[in-house]
Amino acid sequence: MTDKPKTIMFFSNGVTAVFNAEGNQMLELQEPWAVIFAKFLESKGIDPVGINLKFQGSFESTEFFRTEEGALNWGRLRTGDVVS
């Protein structure tokens, strides 16, 4: 059984950090909030691929995409990224 988190941090780049009462990171619970939101969109019948993301404090253009393995991710598109 996993310990209950003591602290959850939501970063402006889409990443989540989770810590227990001792201050240790709980890697098994650190699902990026950007991916959680993408999965939420999918649950509503919306394909998140290609949706532009705007993070506070950043002017860089990013969007959701699927990796070759089919996982959801976000960022600037790079060679080899799959957009479908």
**Domain ranges within the chain, ordered by starting residue:** 7-75
**Per-residue confidence (pLDDT) for residue 54, from 0 to 100:** 82
* Cβ within 8 Å of residue 36, ≥6 positions away: 16
Tally Cβ neighbours within 10 Å of residue 65: 22
E-state strands within the chain: 7-10, 16-19, 52-53, 62-66, 72-75
Quick one: CA torsion of 4, 43, 64, 37, rounded to 10 degrees?
-30
Q: What does pTM read for this prediction?
A: 0.75
pLDDT tens for residues 5-58?
999 999 888 899 999 999 999 999 999 999 999 999 999 999 999 998 888 776
Can you name the residues that pair with 52 across neighbouring β-strands? Answer: 63
CA–CA distance, 33 with 30 (Å, rounded to integer)? 9
**Per-residue confidence (pLDDT) for residue 79, from 0 to 100:** 47
What's the mean pLDDT in 56-82?
Answer: 76
